[in-house]
Amino acid sequence: MSLNPKHSFHLLTLECIAQMKEKFMVTIKPNGKAKDELLEIALAITKNDSGDVLIIRRQKPEQGSDGSRLEWAFPGGKISDYESHEETAERETLEETGHYVAVLKRLSTRKHPQYPVKIHYFACNLATTATTQMIEDHEIAQIAWVKPEKLLKEFFKTDLDKAVAEYLEIEIKVKS
């Protein structure tokens, strides 16, 4: 299977981006956003041909405002000023998992109830079965393809977005 030229470009630039991340961590907000605005992240909700969903286990789990623990998550990361939300989801998934994905559609955007972030969720599919080496291997402890119904039972200990649950055909209990 041949790679899309877009993915070839990603391979050439991912190493440069990874090297530049440390050098240019100064926050410049040309779009006029205030410093106290929520960090925005894009997450890729990716299913394979078997219907399994791609997730990652973080090296350093985070603690939520309610004491919840974020260890397993969908691949994704901080939205940069130089790329779209969709491009961020695709790039971060490639960096964290080595899988090339393509965004199909936006599922949802919300402020997470347990973490101080605004999350953009995107339905994705595998762009190719080819993989590459992870760039963010210092952040990721494990990559897994799991059955969607196991996400809330065995992996996720945090709130799952309603639109994401519907896309993955997971029944979630509404907290009263």
Place of tokens 């393809």: 145
Most confident of 21-35, 62-76, 79-93, 160-174: 79-93
Q: Please, what is the average pLDDT of the chain? A: 81
**Domains of the chain, earliest start first:** 5-167 (3.90.79.10)
Measure Cα distances from 103 to 54, 90, 111, 155 in Å: 14, 7, 21, 24
39-47 vs 76-78, strand pairing mode: antiparallel
Model's pTM, two decimal places?
0.76
Residue 35 has pLDDT above 60, yes or no: no
